[in-house]
Amino acid sequence: MRPAYHSGLRQLVKRYERNPILSPEKWPYRVNAVLNPGAVQFQGRTLLLVRVEDCRGFSHLTVAASEDGKEQWEINPFPSLAAEEQFAEEQWGLEDPRIVWLEEEKCYAITYVSFSKGGPLVSLALTENFKEFVKYGPLLPPEDKDAALFPRRFRADGGKRYALIHRPIIRGEAHIWISFSPDLRHWGDHQILLPVRPGWWDQHRVGLGTPPVATPYGWLIFYHGVRHTASGSLYRVGAALLDLEDPRRVLCRTEEWIMSPQEPYELLGDVPGVVFPTGIIVDEEKNEIRLYYGAADRCVGLAFLRYREFLEHLVEEKTV
């Protein structure tokens, strides 16, 4: 018997009625697609660092900001963070940024995919103002994607180490991994955090969606899960909680997806059937989570979740 809360989680996700909030038609310069944004509250506004794909098929990242995080986006008229020649790994563009505020360093860490000739890999850039960025270069070898740092270091194992969630592809398997580093440059103690679940909706690939957010119940993460179907790959969304002190411990993981492509803008685009969350804002006062996601690799959608109710239901889920 399924417990009463089952599928209740999905009821707590509401798409913004005026979605998509950003689309290529509304962009100030000619682009093919705008998708998969990082999100952060910055100087009282919601700032999105949006992946923008140009009409050659290469991506860069551009800032868009709004007072309420829903409407009236002020979009930078030129790229904010783009590939540079001295970074060979960026040759085929920058994609899918995730943003985290690093408490100790007092700056934002942006982990993004840089597309090299050798495959996609995760690069790091630091910024204080989203105007000037310091590029750190790649963290781990290809093929790697879907990465975010935690906002603070961990004392587990006696050290004081940064932790990175990422998604290497090894032997063709695409699980979510976690790795540790004393200095953001040297990474080790790699282990699988959330594996794909054979037979399930997330059977073929999983990847981190939004950066970890500390809650009273643990680190909240949303992830995407992929199933290959006769008409292409279906990208859906699940959630999990990780132990606050030892993020290698998965406390719970949703059995069912909480979001699946259903709206026309999620079903029609360059890649039909994709919801791909990459940005999260938690407003505890409003009891609201705002999820920013790429829809069908063409535009950006926004979904609202009731923060406390969502967590209360989520902790009831098992680890499968």
Residues in the site for ligand BMA, rule: CB under 6 A? 35-36, 95-96, 235, 271, 274, 276, 294, 297
Least Å from the CB of residue 162 to ligand BMA = 24
Comparing C-alpha atoms, which of 97, 183, 101, 190 is closest to residue 146?
A: 97
Q: Which is nearer to ligand BMA, 90 or 96 (CB)?
A: 96
Least Å from the CB of residue 213 to ligand BMA = 21
**Residue/partner pairs of 316-319 with CB below 8 Å, 24 or more apart:** 316/3, 316/5, 316/252, 317/9, 317/252, 317/253, 317/254, 317/255, 318/252, 318/253, 318/255, 319/250, 319/251, 319/252, 319/253
Backbone angles phi, psi at 89, to 5 degrees: -70, -10
In angstroms, the CA 38 to CA 24 distance is 17
Question: Cβ-closest residue to ligand BMA?
Answer: 271
Least Å from the CB of residue 139 to ligand BMA = 18
Asked whether the CA dihedral 92, 49, 39, 33 is positive or negative, the reply is negative
In angstroms, the CA 89 to CA 87 distance is 5
Least Å from the CB of residue 73 to ligand BMA = 20
Q: Which is nearer to ligand BMA, 58 or 235 (CB)?
A: 235
Comparing C-alpha atoms, which of 149, 98, 92 is closest to residue 117?
A: 92
Q: Which is nearer to ligand BMA, 276 or 292 (CB)?
A: 276
Backbone angles phi, psi at 197, to 5 degrees: -115, 100
Least Å from the CB of residue 276 to ligand BMA = 5
Quickly tell me which residue has 């719970």 as its tokens. 252
Q: Which is nearer to ligand BMA, 187 or 276 (CB)?
A: 276
Least Å from the CB of residue 185 to ligand BMA = 25
Least Å from the CB of residue 278 to ligand BMA = 9
Q: Which is nearer to ligand BMA, 97 or 151 (CB)?
A: 97
Comparing C-alpha atoms, which of 302, 312, 310 is closest to residue 14?
A: 302
Q: Which is nearer to ligand BMA, 47 or 174 (CB)?
A: 174
Q: Which is nearer to ligand BMA, 95 or 317 (CB)?
A: 95
Comparing C-alpha atoms, which of 67, 60, 69 is closest to residue 22?
A: 69
